[in-house]
Amino acid sequence: MSLTFVVGTSRCGSTMLSRMLGAHPDVLSISEFWNCFLESVGHIPTHDMSGAEFWQLLAKPAPLYDGLVTAGIKTDEKIQPFPSRFNYDTGMPAFCRILAWSTDQPPDPLFDSLAAEATTWPRRPMAEHCRALFTAMATRLGRRVIVERTGGTLNQIELLREHFPEALFVFLHRDGPDAVLSMSRYPTLRLSALTTLAASLNSAFSPGVELLPEELRAITPSDFGGVTAPPYDKKRFQAFPIPLTYYAGMWSTKTRTGTRQIRLVPRASRTTLRYEKLLKETRAELAALASFIGVTADEQWLDWACEFANPGRIGSASAGLHPMDLAELRAACAAGNRAFDQLERDDLR
């Protein structure tokens, strides 16, 4: 089965694209798979392991994420409609949450079926386990094309290409200020920023600390209590002062890294897609994307996607900013936006 990775910064519109692709009858759309390993390993694992070891990583709960849900900071709306023996208070297996986003069926039966198969697999490279798992999911759900997307994997293109050389890549880009505003409001990204900020302020050798506002540099380790690990203090977590330019730096760095890495992917194996254009020209953009990943642009699917798309979201995130704040944010995002613009121009030559 063909495999495509959608890569981009966080909050670039990839969740929306996953939902659009998941509505196609031939596409298995897998969301946030690589986040299964974020808390247990801290990165995308690549070493050899047995099937039982592989499944153990997938079945582990993610306490930091679960804590956001139990604290009322994040709502996992996709899980809630389904009956499940798992819950966030006792620990939600990371992969069970992923399955709930990949199918409209209750996740437990599919979780159990895949567990019974995966735990028998021999010791082999991690990528082989992933291919087998994706194929098993697609077979059970009657899909023939696999598209995986995990928010924020733009700087993982080189690693993914090394271990999945057959894969196609879709680079989804959203205008910097809108992406950054959305990042600042999203709980898991706020947690990531808080964790990174805490580590930076606690290290005498962390680069960029001198660029932070004076009030942030004066924060002590005790000030991060209740905001970087559960049990979370919801009020403090949501009010902790992180400058938008801090998120902008993260976004711009990741965008520039991604544009460099994707240039190493053969031109026939990659494409770019703008969030704004996807919302304004949904039918044409999805038809081109369908051709790229190897499925037919079914008219009923395109009609549904056009209804699902909301062009009014373009620019909405930054619409409420004061003009001076918006200008500052645009300046902080400029390097990342320029890098993507240049990539598009070069690809058109």
Q: Cis ω on the peptide bond leading into residue 231 (within 30° of 0)?
A: yes
What pLDDT is recorded for position 199? 83
Could you tell me if residue 333 is inside a domain?
Answer: no
| H or E segment and range at residue 169 | strand 168-173
Buried b or exposed e, range 193-205, using 16+ CB within 10 angstroms? bbeebbebbeeee
Residue 244 lies in a domain: no
Which residue matches tokens 């409609």?
81
Determine the Cα–Cα distance for residues 283 and 267; give it in Å rounded to an integer: 23
Residue 42 lies in a domain: yes
> What pLDDT, on a 0 to 100 scale, did the predictor assign at position 210?
62
What is the structure's pLDDT at 77? 64
- Nearest residue to 30 via CA among 58, 70, 51, 49: 58
Domain that holds residue 309: 2-176+268-313
| pLDDT > 60? residue 208 | no
Q: Considering the entire predicted model, what is its pTM?
A: 0.94
CATH code, 138: 3.40.50
Q: Is residue 343 part of a domain?
A: no
Answer yes or no: is 245 within a domain: no
In a domain, residue 170? The reply is: yes
**Would you say residue 205 has pLDDT above 60?**
no
What are the pLDDT digits (tens) for 125-183? Answer: 999 999 999 999 999 999 999 999 999 999 999 999 999 999 999 999 999 999 999 99
Q: Give me the amino acid identity at 312.
A: G
Inside any domain, residue 27: yes
Number of domains observed in the structure of the chain:
1
Predicted confidence band of residue 201 (pLDDT cuts 50, 70, 90): confident
Residue 4 — very low, low, confident or very high, per pLDDT cuts 50/70/90?
very high
Quick one: average pLDDT of 306-330? 89
Q: Flag the least confident range among 48-52, 245-249, 269-273.
A: 245-249
Residue 137 covered by a domain: yes
pLDDT of 78 reads 59
